[in-house]
Chain A
Amino acid sequence: MSTHLTRTRRLGRAAAGLTAVAGLIEIVVGANSWTGDKSQPTTLGLLTVVLAAVMATAATVTGRERTSGSSLAIAAGLAVPALISLTTAGRLAVPGALLGVVAGGFALADARRRGSVRRSIAHAWPTVLVAVLAVIYLAFGAVAGPIGILGIAGAGAAVGALSIRHRSRRVAAAVLVVGVIPFAVVAWWSVVVPLTAVLLLVVELPRLLSSPRPVSAAAHASSGGPVVDRRIR
């Protein structure tokens, strides 16, 4: 592994460790000016530990990526949780967040070396939208009491449908619909859950049902893809 990837991995792990410690301290100590005087320190402490786990995962897979897009995903996996942790664990999260952002910056630089970041983002954009919507589903599922399991299942279905679409588009579409709709029905009055469900279906269903699109030559080349047959139509 190259020196800069080793550096990214080490920084990412250190960031994850510091963030996890911040979360654990918030859980143990409770509301404190160092952790931002949160009204729900236990919940937010747990959330901080989860964010640290995401950072740790991103740091661990650093070096295995082969494309600009996967480097970009690692950069996001390091920097985004780091920034979010600033809102969940107050000042105590600052050291981990700083390291996380720096590590994310190194991963971003690596993504640039591998190809066009802009094209990678454009290529992955629909997936990013689905991920954002799935996170909203997951977040409301986590707080919604007994019916929340439907929200968590819905978020899992949204992500799972993307990963199985290469095997069977119809099954993937069915997983999405069956997974997403129940939470929207039982929490119809919450406005945001049914709206998120509609957006998930509108954004994701056409992607699942459509034939795999030919990949743009430039995007494919920039992401370290295979040889291209430049066929004029």
Chain B
Amino acid sequence: MSTRDVVSVDVEDPHRRGAPSSTWPGVEPGSGGSVSRRRFLHRVGLGAATVFVVADGLLAYRAWDQGVLAEGTGPAFDALRDWRSFDGPEAAIAAAVLAASAHNTQPWAFAIRGERIEVYADRSRSTGANDPLMRELDVSLGCAIENLVLAAEAAGYATSVELDPPTQPDLVATVALERGSVVVSELYDAIDRRRSNRSDFTDDPIPDGVMASMSDLADAGTGVAWLHERSDRVAFAELLVRATRAHNEDEAQSVDSFAWWRSDWDQIQDHKDGLNIDGVGLSPLVRTLGKILPGTSRSAADETFLERTEQQADTAAAFGVVTVDDPGSLEQRLRGGRVLQRLHLWATANDIGFQHMNQITERIDRDRQLGHPDVFEGPLTALAGPGVLAAFRVGTPTVESMASPRRPVSEVLR
């Protein structure tokens, strides 16, 4: 063979064209368009493969665009990754922005004045008809203050907190910082791992000792009541489900809740707040399908909210409530919020699932705002005692909860 190779090629014998055994029926013999059966099948296979690859490409684009496999990444989650990299008072604020807040509204702003941090309420970030008396917003600020204090102590500051100072209306607290010893508590270490876990919980009970330890976290003027007996849990679960139905039937509440729903990846990254499908407590596969399929409508979101609440209420190992003497007092709401955050961090540090359950208190305030007869407060007081500020459930989660988006320090500093 010469340097130019000789290659065997398929060239059909013109005398065999049209032979049934080797050509595709229906092709005109001698038309020049005859195709061998093998080649026809090859082309069909390649065509089918092309269709599937194109479909896979479209699916991949949608999944990529919706952040499938990229959960917890991007600028909306930088605050969770970077919070330990700050120094001085900013280190405390970097922890404060990771606190729990109703609907993940993060209704806070901060200012650093020398060795003092001022905590402001950002009332433009309320949940509207869901929080007409600003109870949840104030409790959320209390949660932020607790993180702030824990992080300040870990940064070597001794703190002095003044709640509800009588100056500007939106200034809810000042935290004075003085040089002190470094105190790194287990609660501080749990700050970035804390999540509201909305998955079903297992049948495992919560030991009495755990509830006692959590109750010990309450401050003077606050308390923690537990509903762990089956009859109490069932009664509280019924109240929860009724409150959720009432929420869905109240269009203003439904609309104001949905306003904080982030249905696509770009919204999550742009807003860095609100709720999204990663936080609903669904299995990874269902979560992925929820992201790939078209965005949900408000009514569908309400239905899912009810279904999830029924499951969550049904699988709670115990419900807890934080109580204060006067749930209408800003100072006591902030104090109760601090306790709530402390409970959540303790649960996180001890691998206990924890979820805030706001539906009943939201309906209590909504009925009060509208002048409706009391439907929920009486039964709740009968179950948990007076002064209920906020409720939660605990248990052993079946699904790991995902990180929620956060506004960074630079966006909350005044």
In the bound complex, do residue A220 and residue B69 qualify as a contact, i.e. CB atoms below 8 Å apart? no
- Chain B, residue nearest A31 (CB): B75
Contact with A along B283-309 (1 / 0, CB 8 A): 111011100100000000000000000
Indicate whether A233 sits within 8 Å of B10 (C-beta atoms), given known contacts A39-B269, A125-B50, A190-B288.
Answer: yes
B411: Cβ under 8 A from any A Cβ: no
Indicate whether A215 sits within 8 Å of B9 (C-beta atoms), given known contacts A39-B74, A143-B73, A192-B63.
Answer: yes
- Chain A, residue nearest B71 (CB): A145
In the bound complex, do residue B9 and residue A229 qualify as a contact, i.e. CB atoms below 8 Å apart? yes
* Residues of chain B at interface, number, CB under 8 A: 38
In the bound complex, do residue A214 and residue B8 qualify as a contact, i.e. CB atoms below 8 Å apart? yes
User: Main secondary structure on chain B at its contact with chain A?
Assistant: helix
In the bound complex, do residue A40 and residue B7 qualify as a contact, i.e. CB atoms below 8 Å apart? no
In the bound complex, do residue B49 and residue A229 qualify as a contact, i.e. CB atoms below 8 Å apart? no
* Distance of A198 from chain B, by nearest CB (Å): 9
- Chain A, residue nearest B12 (CB): A233
A1: Cβ under 8 A from any B Cβ: no
A187: Cβ under 8 A from any B Cβ: yes
A233–B21 alpha-carbon span in the complex (Å): 14
In the bound complex, do residue B289 and residue A191 qualify as a contact, i.e. CB atoms below 8 Å apart? yes
A139–B69 alpha-carbon span in the complex (Å): 10
B4: Cβ under 8 A from any A Cβ: yes
* Distance of B8 from chain A, by nearest CB (Å): 5
Which of A3-11, A88-96, A129-137, A170-178 interfaces with chain B? A129-137
In the bound complex, do residue A199 and residue B56 qualify as a contact, i.e. CB atoms below 8 Å apart? yes
Most chain A CB inside 10 Å of its own CB: which residue of B4, B10, B285, B287? B10
CB contacts (< 8 Å) of B63 on chain A: these are 140, 190-192
Contact with A along B63-86 (1 / 0, CB 8 A): 110001110011100000000000
B266: Cβ under 8 A from any A Cβ: yes
Choose among A39, A139, A202, A217 the residue that contacts B9 (Cβ–Cβ < 8 A).
A217
Indicate whether A39 sits within 8 Å of B69 (C-beta atoms), given known contacts A189-B283, A192-B56.
Answer: no
Indicate whether A226 sits within 8 Å of B69 (C-beta atoms), given known contacts A39-B75, A199-B52.
Answer: no
Choose among B11, B56, B283, B285 the residue that contacts A231 (Cβ–Cβ < 8 A).
B11
Indicate whether A232 sits within 8 Å of B13 (C-beta atoms), given known contacts A39-B270, A40-B269, A189-B284.
Answer: yes
A148–B71 alpha-carbon span in the complex (Å): 13
A190–B64 alpha-carbon span in the complex (Å): 10
Choose among B8, B69, B73, B284 the residue that contacts A229 (Cβ–Cβ < 8 A).
B8
* Distance of B291 from chain A, by nearest CB (Å): 10
Most chain B CB inside 10 Å of its own CB: which residue of A139, A189, A214? A189
A196–B227 alpha-carbon span in the complex (Å): 49
- Chain A, residue nearest B68 (CB): A190
- Chain A, residue nearest B9 (CB): A217
A231–B69 alpha-carbon span in the complex (Å): 53
In the bound complex, do residue A228 and residue B6 qualify as a contact, i.e. CB atoms below 8 Å apart? yes
B53: Cβ under 8 A from any A Cβ: yes
In the bound complex, do residue A144 and residue B70 qualify as a contact, i.e. CB atoms below 8 Å apart? yes
In the bound complex, do residue A195 and residue B59 qualify as a contact, i.e. CB atoms below 8 Å apart? yes
Residues of A at the B interface (CB closer than 8 Å) are 39-40, 125-126, 129, 132-133, 136, 139-140, 143-145, 148, 187-193, 195-196, 199, 202-203, 214-217, 220, 225-233
Nearest 5 interchain pairs by C-beta: A189-B284, A217-B9, A39-B269, A143-B70, A226-B5
